[in-house]
Amino acid sequence: MILVAGSANIDFVTRVRHIPAPGETVLGSSYSVSGGGKGANQAVACARAGGQVAFLGALGHDSFAGTLRQSLRESGVQDLSVQLDLPTGAAFISVSEAGENAITVASGANAGLLPEMLPELTGFTHLVMQLEIPLPTVLTYAQTARAAGVRVILNAAPAADLSPELLNCVDLLVVNEGELASLVGPGEVNEQLRRAARLGSAQVIVTLGAEGSLALDSLAPNGEAFVTVPARRVAVTDTTGAGDTYVGALVTALSEGAALPQAMFFAGTAAALACTRPGAQPSMPTRAEIEAAPLTPG
């Protein structure tokens, strides 16, 4: 079973003609309210892709917490969240006509998820985390999982300074291009992946948007190997949640025993489908949709 530990936010999504510049006010044509937060998103993506998954996060006592719990429950996620005397986290998302987005997050209860809140890991095979909860919590959870023989997957988003202690506990690191550059500095992407792997992770994946994804797999049968998976070609409506969809579907496939290239292909297909629909959790595809997707490489 997969445990996702991370943030849960209520998403306020506004459609706009273009992303506002500093000091600019842009009128939106509509807005929606739905479940979000990188942790909750990845748990929902896992479950919809067919994974057996539980979610650990921190919520407030407000009505937004109920919305998030309902989304988790309806997606088949086991909810292990704690409730705190803090407001539920919120994200304010602007989505342009081109499908690009700009996101502002108020952490709220997410900042109160503490190291001692981790449940017993018996029965879990994978722990998935991101960086929208306190770094000391991420470190403690990773160390505990490593000691328990649970595989640790870290989506290092949003970008942050990560300690060697944390990176040495990570089995699979997933980043986008900006997060990879923040972690190891600029350079040619293959060399960036090598530098990231030297920090501790045996496998490192960088997602490249419309270019697909690229991995460095130090566990490949014949030694270090690069894995390239092209993007799936779709008409983009909204990229919100696509990265979280990728991670959730990826871990689902890996938990079922898929090799890394096959898991990346499955994840890329799921993320592409998510881009064709508005919102984060509302856009995430089911297992049947992923397997039936008539998509072609970009």
Could you report the per-residue pLDDT of 47-92, keeping only the tens digit for each? 999 999 999 999 999 999 999 999 999 999 999 999 999 999 998 8
Residue 134 has pLDDT above 90, yes or no: yes
Q: What is the mean pLDDT of residues 197-203?
A: 92
pTM (2 d.p.): 0.91
**DSSP, res 221:** T
**Sheet arrangement for strand 89-95:** 30-36, 9-15, 89-95, 101-106
**DSSP, res 233:** P
Residue 194 has pLDDT above 90, yes or no: yes
Question: Which stretch of 171-175, 227-231, 265-269 has the lowest confidence by average pLDDT?
Answer: 227-231
Q: What is the mean pLDDT of residues 31-51?
A: 93
- Confidence grade of residue 297 (pLDDT, cut at 50, 70, 90): low
Residue 99 has pLDDT above 80, yes or no: no
Residues recognised as catalytic = 244
Residue with tokens 């006592």: 61
- At 284 the pLDDT is 92
- At 88 the pLDDT is 97
**DSSP, res 187:** S
Rounded CA separation 255/259 (Å): 10
- Confidence grade of residue 295 (pLDDT, cut at 50, 70, 90): low
Torsion of CA 118, 122, 123, 128, to 10 degrees: 30
Rounded CA separation 245/236 (Å): 15
Average pLDDT along the chain: 92
Residue 230 has pLDDT above 70, yes or no: yes
- Confidence grade of residue 169 (pLDDT, cut at 50, 70, 90): very high
Q: Parallel, antiparallel, or unpaired for β 89-95 and 9-15?
A: parallel
Determine phi and psi for 75, rounding to 5 degrees. Answer: -90, -5
Residue with tokens 């001692």: 116
- At 237 the pLDDT is 79
- Confidence grade of residue 296 (pLDDT, cut at 50, 70, 90): low
Delineate the domains of the chain, giving CATH numbers in brackets.
2-6+38-81+111-292 (3.40.1190.20)
- CA torsion through residues 57, 60, 64, 65, sign: positive
Q: Parallel, antiparallel, or unpaired for β 53-56 and 9-15?
A: unpaired
Rounded CA separation 8/132 (Å): 9
Count how many Cα atoms sit within 13 Å of the Cα of residue 295 in the half-sphere of its side chain. Answer: 26
- Confidence grade of residue 102 (pLDDT, cut at 50, 70, 90): confident
- Confidence grade of residue 140 (pLDDT, cut at 50, 70, 90): very high
CA distances from 117 to 38, 46, 64, 87, 144 (A): 18, 22, 21, 18, 12
Q: What is the pLDDT of residues 213-225, one digit of tens each?
A: 999 998 888 777 8
